[in-house]
Structure 1
Amino acid sequence: MEPTVTTVKAELDAVRVRRAELREALSRLERSLAAPASGRAVVWGEHVHTILVEMAEDFREHIDVTEGPDGLHHAILAGDLRLANAVSALAADHIPIAGEIADLVAGTEPPVTAQDVDIVRDRGTNLLSRLVRHRQRGADLIYEAYQTDIGGGD
């Protein structure tokens, strides 16, 4: 069954909301990683941990909105099967990204020591980079499917 204009608009609106929330989570993580940690690694680590726990939930919601039974990926495929490879690639990204987030959540369980800070920052920065690329590919897919710019979530 072809998606209706109303259905597509509702799905895109849901994706825009999730996209903005995820973008805000990325910004919070970037700020927390950049915050001074010298002499305050435990407090720094607790803050980073809190942000990562929130990001894990935001990312789970992103997966639900895109891959769920009424998700955007299903709507895209209903309208254009030639995008199946792009949809599959984005969905395949979800597992390792969720794993990286979970690993960082576990790696920032209190107490974070001064020796942990550089490792957490490196892993967190790599995660940010991966998430930014994932968002870019998602925006490209939506544009190709609907000829609409979903925006940067800013």
Structure 2
Amino acid sequence: MGGTQPTFADAVSLQVARRHRAALLREIQMFEHAIASPSAEPGWRERMSNRLRALRGAFAEHIVVTEGEDGLYAELLEHAPRLHRRVQVLTREHAVIAVSMSALQRRADLPGARIEELRGCGGEILRALSRHRQRGADLVYDAYETDIGGET
């Protein structure tokens, strides 16, 4: 038949990943705002903890969207199996980042935790997320010459 084959840019997994990527970015930005706000403000620790909890939820969704049986990585590897090792790296990063967020959540929920420590750990998580998101965008681009980003 004379029709064209759908491109990866039209793939459902990429569309879902783009939506979740934007939602994850919003949660990252709200968490960053929470840890950067003045700690003398009443409720700082509770707001930071709540934003972290929301970020953890968004990141858990990101893991499902990317690692799931019909997720982005499965579809990507079907198209570009040469990128298997890079997908493994991203998958390992998921586990490391999730553990870091859980550890920070436990600390944040302790009344005696020092704010400087919470901010420092939060900053490390933000840097890890930034690197992870860039590697993920680079992976998709290398596989399909498609930009998954678009948000600023």
Same fold (TM over 0.5): yes
Q: Give the secondary structure class of the aligned counterpart of 1:31.
A: helix
- CA deviation after TM superposition for structure 1 residue 39, in Å: 6.4
1: distance between equivalents of 2:146 and 2:99?
31
Structure 2: distance between partners of 1:9 and 1:21 = 19
Kindly state the Cα deviation for residue 81 of structure 1 after the two structures are TM-superposed. 1.1
Point out 4+ residue stretches in structure 1 off by more than 6 angstroms: none
Greater shift in the superposed pair: 13-22 or 144-153: 144-153
In the alignment, is residue 149 of structure 1 matched against residue 144 of structure 2? no
Counterpart of 1:119 in structure 2 is 117
The CA deviation string for residues 43-66 of structure 1, in whole angstroms up to 9 with x for no partner, is 111000000111111011000000
State the superposition RMSD in angstroms. 1.9
Q: Deviations over 1:96-123 (max 9, x none)?
A: 1000111111111153x5x610000000
Matches within 5 A, 1:36-115: 36-38=38-40, 40=42, 43-109=43-109, 111=111, 113=112
- Alpha-carbon distance in structure 2 between the residues aligned to 1:6 and 1:82: 16
Equivalent in the alignment of 1:15 = 17
Deviation, structure 1 residue 152? 4.6
Please, which runs of 5 or more residues in structure 1 have no aligned partner? none
Given that 1:77 and 1:83 are in contact with CA atoms closer than 8 Å, whether structure 2 keeps it comes out as yes
Q: Are the aligned partners of 1:53 and 1:105 in contact in 2 as well (CA < 8 Å)?
A: yes
TM-superposed CA distance for 1:9, in Å, is 2.0
Aligned length: 148
Match of 1:131 in 2: 129
| 2:96 partner SS | helix
**CA–CA distance in structure 2, aligned partners of residues 36 and 119 of structure 1:** 15
Where structure 2 has 5 or more consecutive residues not aligned to the other structure, the ranges are none
CA–CA distance in 1 between the matches of 2:83 and 2:10? 16
Higher relative contact order (CA 8 A, sep 6+): 1
Contact 1:19 1:153 in 2 (8 A): no
3-state DSSP class of the match of 1:140? Answer: helix
